[in-house]
Structure 1
Amino acid sequence: MTNLRDTPPRAAAPKPSAAARPWVALVVLCVSLLIVTLDNTILNVALPTLVKELGATTTQLQWIVDAYALVFAGLMLVAGSSADRFGRRRVFTGGLAVFGAASAWAAYSGSVGMLIAARAAMGVGAAMMMPATLSIITDVFRDPVERRRAIGVWAATSGLGIAIGPVAGGLLLEHFWWGSVFWVNVPFAVIGLVCANLLVPDSRNPAALPPDPAGAVLSIAGLGLLLWAIIEAPVRGWTSALVLTAGGGGLAVLVGFALWERACTHPMLNLDFFRERRFSVATSSVSLAMFGLFGALFVLTQYLQFSLGYSALATGVRVLPVAGLLALVAPLSPVLVRWAGTKAVVGVGLSAVGGGLWQLSTADVSATYGDVLAGLLLLGLGAGLVVPAALDSLMGTLPQGDTGVGSATNGVSVQLGGALGVAVIGSLLTTRYQDRMGPPLAPYRLPDKVSDSVLGSLGGALQLAERVGGTAGRMLAGLARSAFISGMGLGLSVGAAVAAGGAVLAFAALPSRPHPPAAVPDPADPADRSEE
C-alpha cells in the first residue's frame, strides 16, 4: 500500500479539450479495464482445453492461473504510486501496451512454460492499468456527485467482466482455437491505446512520494515461494525437503517484507492501517471470499467438462449463475449495510460462500448439474454480499487522500485470495486424485510419460482411456472420474471451512457501524510524512 495522497486539487490540471469530455474518458478507461477483469474468468472454461491441447497437468493449470494473479497482486500498489508520480495516463497506456503484447504472446504460446511466462507478463500490464484508471477518474471528475457516479460505473464494469467471462470464453472456444481467449484482448488494447492518447487527460501528484520497488520484489518473492510450495507439494511430496524449504523461505521473506515496510519512509503497504479492525477484517474477508470463489471455479470448470461432459460454451453458460447473481446482488449490498450493518452483511455473505462450497463438495459420480446448482448460486450470493460491504468498510477508515490506496488494497485482496484458493484447493484435489489413482495403476507398470499424464490430470487419464477403449478404457475413465470428484470434494470442503472461519471472524471482530472518518492529512505537511 502506498503512502501517496491522491489529492485532485494538487494534481496537474487536464487539458480543457479532454476535461470537457470526462464521460468519454470514462468509457475509454472502462472498456480497457473490462479486458483486465474479463481475464479473471474467461480462462477458466479453457482449462480443460489446455489439458487436451498442451498436455497441461493440474499443477501446471494452477500456475497458468496464479502467475497472472501473483504478479498482478504484487505490483498493483507500487504501480499505483508510480502512476501518481510519473503520470497516470502514461502508466495506464504503458500497462495497456504490455497487456496487449503479452496477450498475443499467450495466444501463440507453444508450451505450458511459455504460457505461464506470458500470463505473468499480462499480470504486469494489468497491475499498471487498474489503479491508474481509478486515479484518472478521481482527477477528471472533480464534482463529488459525478465522481461517485463514475466510480460506480467503474465498479460495475469490473463486475461485468467477471460475469461475461465464462460465456465469452465458451463462445470463443466453440468457434476458434484455445489462444482466442487471449487474442481477443489485442484489438481492445490497440483501440484503447489510440483513444486514451486522444481522449484521456494526463495528470500526476507533484507531492507523491517515490515508489517502493524493494517492497514489491519482496512481496512477489515471498508469495511466489509460498505458492510454489503449495502447488508443487502434491507432485514432490508435502514433506519433501524442497517443498518445506521453499515454504519456509517464503514465510521468512514475507516477514522481511513486513519489517521493510515498517522501516521504509515510503512503504508500499502502510501497516498502520491494519490496526483498524474495519480495515484489517474487511480486507481479510474479501480475500477469504475470493479464496472460495476462485478455487471453486478452478475445479468446477474441469468437473463440468470432464465429468459431466459439457462443451466449453455449455460450461460457460452453466457457470454464469455464479457471476450473474454476484453482479445482481453487489449493488444491493451497500443498501443492506445501511439497514443491517457491515458485520451482518459480511458475516452472512461468508456463511453463504461456505455453504455453497460445502454443498458442491457433496457431489458424487452420479451427480448432475441440477445437484450442484444450489451451491453455485450460494457462491455468487455470498461473494456479491461480501465484496462491496467490505470495500465500503475499509474505505470508511481512510482519509479522503487515501481512497486510491483503499481501492488498490481491495484489488490486491481479490487477487491474492484467488491465487491462494486456486493453489490450496487445486493442490488438495491433486493429492487426493493421485492417492486414489496410484495404487490401482501400480501393477500395470505404465511408461513414465503415460503415468505422468494419467496421474497429472483427469483430462490426461480420459485421453488414455479413449485410446485404450473397451472395458479397460471404461474402467480407467470411471476410476479417474471417481478420484477427481473425491479430490474436488476434499478441496471444496476445506474451502468451506476457510469461509466459515472468515464468517466467525467477521461476526466477532468486524464493527457493525462506521466511526467518524479520520481527518484529511495534508500531503505537503512534513509532520504527516514523518508519521508514515
Structure 2
Amino acid sequence: MHGLLAQRRHAHFLESVMQVSEAAVSTSPIPLRTQRNTLALIAVCLAAMMFALEISSVPVILPTLEVVLHGDFGQIQWIMNAYTIACTTVLMATGTLADRFGRKRIFIGAIVLFGIASLLCGLAWNSAVLIASRVLQGASGGAMLICLVAVLSHQFPQGAQRARAFSAWGIVLGIGLGFGPIVGGAIVALANWKWVFWIHVGLAVATLALAVAGVQESRDPQARRLDVWGMATLSAAIFGFVWFITQGADGGFTSASGLAILGASAASLAVFYAMETRIAHPMFDFSVFRVRNFSGALLGSVGMNFSFWAFIIYLPIYFQRALGEGPVAAGLSLLAYTLPTLVFPPIGERLALRYQPAFVIPAGLLTIGLGFFLMWAGSRSGHAGALPVLPGCLLAGAGLGLTNTPVTNTTTGSVCAARAGMASGIDMSARMITLAINIALMGFLLVEAVSMRLQAALGVHSADVSWNALASRVAAGDLVPPVAAPFTSAATMGAAHFEAISRAALIHGFGVLMLYGGTAVSVLAVLSFCIFRSKQAQA
C-alpha cells in the first residue's frame, strides 16, 4: 500500500514537473521577444534622435560656421542642402537594398557610416570639406531613417504595441528637435562647434550596440531589383532645381547656363516619370497617388517642409543677427519653435484616432500657418527682442506636432502591408525633396527682399553696386559695410548707420519669409482637406 502510494506520488510529481516545463518552454520566448523588442525600440529612438539633432542643432551654429570657415550665404545653404539632397537620393534605394539583403544589416551599416560622417564633419577645415562630409552624413542619415521605420513596422506589426512604439518614436524625435537648438548653442558657447557633430559619434556607438542585440533580421524574398536609373534621374532633377534657385540669382535666371541647368533638370524629371510608369517594379510607384488618403497625407508632409522645416534653417540668423541674441539665447528662443514638437505628437495621434486624419492633418497645417502669420505680426511690432515672435513660434511648433505622426501613420496605413515600405519611402522622399527645394527658395526670397529694402533705404543708383552680393552678405548676418562700397554717401554714412539699415532690411526679409511660409502651408492645408473629403477617399 505504501509502495503504491509512493508510485502515485512519484507519477504525480513527474506530471507536475512536465507541466511546469511545458509551460516554461511555451512562455519563455515571450519575455525574450519583449526584451529584444525593447532594445530594438531604444535603438530606433536613438537613431531618430541623431537624425533630429542633426536637423535642429546645426542651424543654430550656421552663423558661427560662416565666420570660422569663411563661408558665404550660398555655402550656408549648401551645408544644409547637401544633407537633404543626399538623404533623398538614398531613401528609395535603401528600401530596396534592405528588402533584399536584410533590414538589420543595412540599418547597422547606416549607423556606422553616420558616425564616421559625423567625425569627418567635425574635422572639416573649410566649407567645401564640410559640405562634402555632409553629403556622406545625409546619405547615411537617409538610409538610417528609412530602415528605422521598417524595423518598427516589422517588430511591432499591429495593435497597441505598434501604436506605443510609433508614439515613443515620435516623442524621442520631438526631444531631438526640441532640445537640438539649445544643445547646439550650448556646445558652441562652452566648447567648440566641432562637438555639435562629434556628439553623434558616441550616440552612433550606443545605437550600434543596441541594434546588434535587439533588432531582428528581416527581408523580402520577392525584393525588386535596384532601380539605378531611377535614382540617377531623380537625384539629377532635384540637384539641378536646387542649383538653379540657389545660384541663378548670381548668374541670372535667364542666362544660357541657368536655362540649360533648368532644362536638364526638367528633362531628368520627365525621364524619371517615364521610366517609373513603364517598368514592372518601379522604385517610385505613381499609382499609389490614386489612394486619396495617401495623397492627402502626403500633402501634409509637403506642407511641413514648405514652412516649418525650411524656415528653421534661417531662424537662427534672425535671432542672432537681426535681433542680436547670442548662441545660447538664440537656442533658448528656438525652443519655443521646436519644443512643442515634443509635446503634441501623442495628442495628434489621439485626435487622429478620434476624429480621423482627414480633419487632423489639415487642421495641423492650418495651425502652422496661423503660427507663421502670428510671427509676422510680432516681427512688425517694433520690439527689439524676440518676445513678440515667440507666441507664433509656439503655435507653429504645436501645429507640426499635431501633423507629423498622423501623416506618417496615414501614409503607411492607407496601402496594403506589401506596399507599406514603398509608401514610407515616397513619404520620406517627398519630405526631403520639398525641404531641399524650399531651403533654396526661402534663401532666394530672403536675399531678394533684403536687396529691395537696401536699395530703397540707401538711395544708391549705380551700376557698380552688386546688390545681390551685398544682400547675400546681409542675409548671412554680415551687417558691416563693405570696404569698397561705391555709395555716394559712404563717407558720411558711418558703420553704425549702415548696420541699422542692414538690420532693418534683414528683419523685413524675414517678414517676407514668414508670410510665404504661412500662405504656402495654408493653401496646402485646404488642398489636403479637399483630397481627403473626396468621394473616393470616403469610399
Q: Say whether 1:401 aligns with 2:418.
A: yes
Preserved CA contact (<8 Å) 2:184 2:331: yes
Aligned to 1:157: 172
Q: Which of 284, 305, 328 is 1:269 aligned to?
A: 284
Q: Say whether 1:426 aligns with 2:443.
A: yes
Aligned to 1:220: 235
1:135-284 → structure 2 map (5 Å cutoff): 135-141=150-156, 144-284=159-299
Cα deviation for residue 69 of structure 1 reads 1.0
1:40-59 → structure 2 map (5 Å cutoff): 40-59=55-74
Preserved CA contact (<8 Å) 1:285 1:390: yes
* Cα distance change of structure 1 residues 365 and 514 upon mapping to structure 2, 3 Å threshold: same
* Cα distance change of structure 1 residues 372 and 223 upon mapping to structure 2, 3 Å threshold: same
Q: Say whether 1:484 aligns with 2:500.
A: no
> How far apart in 1 are the matches of 2:298 and 2:351?
19
Cα deviation for residue 208 of structure 1 reads 1.5
Q: Say whether 1:389 aligns with 2:376.
A: no
The one-letter amino acid paired with 1:462 is L
Runs of 5+ unmatched residues, structure 1: 1-13, 518-532
Preserved CA contact (<8 Å) 1:103 1:185: yes
Cα deviation for residue 160 of structure 1 reads 2.1
Preserved CA contact (<8 Å) 1:289 1:417: no
Cα deviation for residue 126 of structure 1 reads 0.9
- Secondary structure class of the residue paired with 2:95: helix
Q: Which of 324, 332, 338 is 1:323 aligned to?
A: 338
Q: Which of 313, 324, 336 is 1:309 aligned to?
A: 324
Could you tell which deviates more after superposition, 404-413 or 219-228? 404-413
Cα deviation for residue 454 of structure 1 reads 6.8
Q: Which of 359, 369, 377 is 2:386 aligned to?
A: 369
* TM-score normalised by length of structure 2: 0.85
> How far apart in 1 are the matches of 2:212 and 2:230?
31
* TM-score normalised by length of structure 1: 0.86
Aligned to 2:80: 65
What does the per-residue CA deviation read over 1:441-489, in whole Å, with 9 as the maximum and x for residues that have no partner?
A: 96899999x9957743445633558999996110121121122122222
Aligned length: 502
> How far apart in 2 are the matches of 1:106 and 1:334?
36
Cα deviation for residue 514 of structure 1 reads 9.8
Q: Say whether 1:495 aligns with 2:536.
A: no
What does the per-residue CA deviation read over 1:278-321, in whole Å, with 9 as the maximum and x for residues that have no partner?
A: 11121022112222002322222101001211111111111112
> How far apart in 2 are the matches of 1:294 and 1:55?
25
The one-letter amino acid paired with 1:504 is V
* Cα distance change of structure 1 residues 454 and 388 upon mapping to structure 2, 3 Å threshold: closer
What does the per-residue CA deviation read over 1:170-201, in whole Å, with 9 as the maximum and x for residues that have no partner?
A: 11111122222111111222333344334433
Cα deviation for residue 60 of structure 1 reads 1.7
Aligned to 1:39: 54
Q: Which of 434, 447, 458 is 1:417 aligned to?
A: 434
What does the per-residue CA deviation read over 1:492-523, in whole Å, with 9 as the maximum and x for residues that have no partner?
A: 22222211211221232223899699xxxxxx
Cα deviation for residue 265 of structure 1 reads 2.1
Cα deviation for residue 418 of structure 1 reads 2.2
Q: Which of 346, 349, 362 is 1:347 aligned to?
A: 362
Superposition RMSD in Å: 3.1
> How far apart in 2 are the matches of 1:62 and 1:383?
23
Aligned to 1:475: 497
Runs of 5+ unmatched residues, structure 2: 1-28, 485-489
* Cα distance change of structure 1 residues 318 and 383 upon mapping to structure 2, 3 Å threshold: same
Preserved CA contact (<8 Å) 2:245 2:444: yes
Aligned to 1:5: none
- Secondary structure class of the residue paired with 1:263: coil
* Cα distance change of structure 1 residues 256 and 67 upon mapping to structure 2, 3 Å threshold: same
The one-letter amino acid paired with 1:372 is V
> How far apart in 2 are the matches of 1:195 and 1:105?
23
Aligned to 2:43: 28
Preserved CA contact (<8 Å) 2:43 2:208: no
1:498-513 → structure 2 map (5 Å cutoff): 498-511=520-533
The one-letter amino acid paired with 2:517 is G
> How far apart in 1 are the matches of 2:420 and 2:44?
18
> How far apart in 1 are the matches of 2:107 and 2:299?
28
Preserved CA contact (<8 Å) 1:358 1:496: yes
* Cα distance change of structure 1 residues 417 and 218 upon mapping to structure 2, 3 Å threshold: same
1:429-448 → structure 2 map (5 Å cutoff): 429-437=446-454, 440=458
> How far apart in 2 are the matches of 1:201 and 1:361?
48
- Percent identity over paired residues: 27
Could you tell which deviates more after superposition, 459-468 or 60-69? 459-468
Aligned to 2:112: 97
Preserved CA contact (<8 Å) 1:465 1:476: no
Preserved CA contact (<8 Å) 2:100 2:219: yes
* Cα distance change of structure 1 residues 361 and 240 upon mapping to structure 2, 3 Å threshold: farther
> How far apart in 1 are the matches of 2:424 and 2:123?
33
1:117-128 → structure 2 map (5 Å cutoff): 117-128=132-143
Preserved CA contact (<8 Å) 1:461 1:476: no
> How far apart in 2 are the matches of 1:32 and 1:432?
38
The one-letter amino acid paired with 1:225 is G
Preserved CA contact (<8 Å) 2:94 2:146: yes
Q: Which of 126, 129, 141 is 2:144 aligned to?
A: 129
- Secondary structure class of the residue paired with 1:462: coil
> How far apart in 1 are the matches of 2:63 and 2:381?
18
> How far apart in 1 are the matches of 2:395 and 2:444?
24
> How far apart in 2 are the matches of 1:217 and 1:105?
25
Q: Which has the larger radius of gyration?
A: 2
> How far apart in 1 are the matches of 2:203 and 2:273?
38
- Secondary structure class of the residue paired with 1:461: coil
* Cα distance change of structure 1 residues 116 and 513 upon mapping to structure 2, 3 Å threshold: farther
